[in-house]
Amino acid sequence: MKTTAMISILIALPVLFFSSCTTSKTLQRQMRSLQSDLYYELTTPEYEGGITDTVYLNFIDYSNMDYYTTVKKKGTLIIPLIFFNYTQEKFDVILGEGSLAQTYREFLTEALLAECNSSTSLYLTDNAADIAPDSAYVLNVKILHNRTASAMKLSSKLIFLYFGQGGDFTFGFSNNNIMPAITDLEFHVSLMQEKNCLFEKTYPAYQKWIYVGGGPGNTFSLNEDCLNNMTECLSVATKSFVEEISRELHLLMSGRKSGLLPHNRNTIQ
């Protein structure tokens, strides 16, 4: 009887253990049911001088990111023993636009308008309706590359104690971790006046953002925290680009007004 009971326990224990493993489809389904907000906070000094020029921001037509967030299992480590079992699973996550509360191109447009109209000498207005006069300054922004990724590690421990005919005791606990989010962006920007290109530049933006929250308990909170960490990383990376292009446009337009720069094509390096 003791032998039969022990064999039954040894058979049931691995079944219980392996059935607790998480699938990428489960995490992906949970992740896609969530949405997170991008944010932009004005931190640069406010420009207190007069407005020198009006610049029309053309419609940004493409966010250049997949719609669906994807979760793929990267690897699994399993240590099955008689009285102790350990498993670690890693899942790679790529942020999709469907997990954002608004499209990225809309967020970028709002960020550019807010920053330029706060910290520069120019007035930037949305030209989505194509209302710019022929002689107006027109700003074109194209998103060349837009990728934000992270990873999640799920670790589980299952401990079994057998007391013979006195019974047995089984308990398990998990330790979930969110890996740093990484955003890789690239933009092409040009400032036009009629057929003249006054300014043209490609801007890369790279950001690594470390998750600083506590250890998420269940997989739903793990997904939510991972998603929020990725959107925060994307927000910070976007802010660095927006502040840089705003600063360079301010210098360019101020220089042209003061006569320090020639009135033809200029590229600030």
Question: How high is the pLDDT of residue 170?
Answer: 58
Q: Helix 219-258 crosses helix 104-119 at what angle (to 10 degrees)?
A: 40
DSSP string, 21-80: PPPHHHHHHHHHT--B-------SPPP-S---EEEEE-------S-SS-EEEEEEEEEEE
Quote the strand ranges of 69-213, DSSP E.
70-80, 84-94, 122-126, 137-162, 168-178, 181-193, 196-209
Question: How high is the pLDDT of residue 257?
Answer: 67
Domain range 20-79+91-154+178-258, CATH class: alpha beta
| Residue 70 vs residues 36, 100, 149, 228: alpha-carbon distances, Å | 15, 14, 10, 15
The dihedral sign for the CA sequence 257, 260, 265, 269: negative
The model's pTM: 0.83
Strands 122-126 and 196-209: unpaired
Q: Are 213 and 225 in contact (CB under 8 A)?
A: yes
> Which residue ranges in the chain fall short of pLDDT 50?
1-2, 5, 7-13, 15-20, 265-269
Q: Which among 244, 235, 239 has a CA at the least distance from the CA of 181? A: 235
**Token pair for residue 189?**
């920007």
Q: Using one digit for the tens of pLDDT, what is the confidence trace for 96-133?
A: 999 999 999 999 999 999 999 999 999 999 999 999 99
Dihedral over alpha carbons 130, 133, 135, 139 (to 10 degrees): -30
Domain boundaries defined on the chain: 20-79+91-154+178-258
